[in-house]
Amino acid sequence: MKFRRFPKFRSSLLSRYFLIVLAALLFVPVVIPLSFLATWLMNSVVTTSQEKANPNYINSGYLTANWHDAAKQLADASPDKINQRLKEYKKKYPFATIFWVDHSGETHQLPPVLRKLPVQWSLEDTIQYMKKGGSDDNFFTVVAFIGDSPNKRQGFMGIEVPRSYFIKGASDSSSFSLFGITLLLLFAFFAGLSYLFFRDIRKRLLTLESAMHFPGEDGLPQKIHTGKADEIGMLEQSFNYMVDQLRESRIREVEEEHLRKRLVSNLSHDLRTPLTVIGSHLYSLKKENLSEQGSQSLTLMQDKMRDLDHLIDHLLSYNLLTSGKYAIHPKSQDILRIVRESAAAWYPLWEREGLEPDIDLDGESLIWPVDEQAFRRVLDNLFQNIVRHAKSGRYIGLSVECSPGRPAELVIHDRGPGMLAESSTKGAGLGLAIVKLLLKEMALKLDIDSTTEGTRMRIHP
């Protein structure tokens, strides 16, 4: 099964994240015009509705521009014409104060007089009025030179309108609120889009993590549903492919294990018969008159026959243990008694091999749940290893050690070269493997500390 190393760009996470980033980059250029457009539309709607509700509505911008335009049109006009033009404004804005001041400073105010103004304007009065302009809080004032230029020397004209007639559109705070709401909505849209993007990624990764940490009944991870063809989708496909490979490997491993066990069992049984025949003939040959060299050769062959017999026995035991067919029935009993009896059986061999036993098993009983036959098998294997590999140390020790906060331990130690040393009699390690499997079946543990000065083996619950 083959996978693309990289997904197509249009279906990758990078492309989707690129779209989100692009939307973020266009966020400000889009939101500001939209907000101003919305504000303008709202002001237009509010202004129109206010104009319909108030027939006296006055637009300050329009009034200012129209007043200056009228002043410009009155260039070189006679006083009667100026009065006539201002009467038209008075008719249109009866609530306004409308007047004009000629070049001599005389005031011409159109009736009815709503606000008292100077009858004769001095230069200071004119400058002060011009300076004050529309600063009055109660009146909106527009002043323009007649002819729209002071060089015409025709004076100036003015109009004062109460500010109550200027109805504002949407307030600045309302405009700002609308802008803020629009900005908030667009930001919420962008945040929601980002949240959905990363939530989908997180959900798929958590599904993958859960499949890794919670295996099925066979101890292997379960396959997951593959989603989009992006980077995570490729990871999901690779994960499912790995699960398939593991399952196939597990099946091959089980088949090979069954084949190995069947082969070891058949081979062990097939070797027993010829070995028995050879052993009987060697025993018969030993009764014959042989030379010294022949006797030595015969003894060597018998030793090797015994080694081979032990190896076959180990193979059978290991095969039974790994298959779960080795019958073990633990029960609480004094293991010190078993150790003493086993040591007594091995004592003659230790003396013959030059090993000096140091046995310190006095004291109270040590009760463990063990199978007596299996525990004797453990001791025999450990004693045999010492005889074969550590007899150069000429020492074997058996003792019980008790440490604070720890259960009592049975200690078997020697003064040999250690387990890492090279030895011509070193085997495949089946004896030690069988020891560990037997102890595991009896809920016991074996700890080994080995140096060049000797090996300490500690058995404990």
- What does the alpha-carbon distance between residue 296 and residue 155 come to, in Å, rounded to a whole number? 152
At residue 149, what are phi and psi to the nearest 5 degrees? -160, 135
CA distances (Å), origin 417, targets 147, 307, 430, 447: 126, 22, 20, 18
Domain 216-326: which CATH number of 1.20.950, 1.10.287, 1.10.150, 1.10.10: 1.10.287
pLDDT at 172: 47
β partners of residue 156: 101, 145
Who wins on pLDDT, 74 or 123? Answer: 74
Is the predicted pLDDT of residue 175 greater than 60, yes or no?
A: no
For residue 238, which phi and psi values (nearest 5 degrees)?
A: -65, -40
The answer to whether 163 and 138 have CB atoms below 8 angstroms apart is yes
239 CB-near residues (< 8 Å, 6+ apart) = 208, 211, 212, 221, 223, 224
Which helix (H) or strand (E) segment holds residue 448: the answer is strand 445-451
Look at 23 and 68; give whichever has higher pLDDT.
68
Residue whose C-alpha is closest to residue 388's, from 427, 345, 358: 427
List, for residues 203-218, the tens digit of each pLDDT value: 777 777 777 777 777 7
- Amino acid 422: pLDDT: 67
Q: 216-326: same fold as 58-165?
A: no
- Give per-residue pLDDT as tens, 45-91: 655 555 555 555 677 788 888 888 888 888 888 888 988 988 888 88
pLDDT (mean) for 235-247:
82
* Side-chain half-sphere CA neighbours of 82 within 13 A: 25
Domain ranges of the chain: 9-52+171-212, 58-165, 216-326, 330-460
Burial of 42 (0-12, 13-18, 19+ CB in 10 A): middle
Pick the CATH number of 58-165 from 3.40.50, 1.20.120, 1.25.40, 3.30.450: 3.30.450
pLDDT on residue 134: 47
| For range 91-116, the mean pLDDT | 84
The yes-or-no verdict on residue 263 having pLDDT over 70 is no
Q: How many CB atoms lie within 10 A of CB 147?
A: 19
pTM score, whole prediction = 0.42
Q: What's the DSSP call for residue 206?
A: H
Q: What percent of the chain has pLDDT over 90?
A: 3
pLDDT of residue 395: 92
Fold of domain 330-460:
Heat Shock Protein 90 (3.30.565)
User: Element (H or E) spanning 266, and its range?
Assistant: helix 231-286
Least confident window among 193-202, 358-367, 378-387, 405-414:
193-202
Provide the pLDDT for residue 318. 65
**Given pLDDT bands bounded at 50, 70 and 90, which one contains residue 193?**
confident
Mean of pLDDT values over 277-288:
72
pLDDT in tens, 314-345: 666 666 666 666 677 888 999 889 888 888 88
Could you tell me whether strands 409-414 and 395-401 are parallel, antiparallel, or unpaired per DSSP bridges?
antiparallel
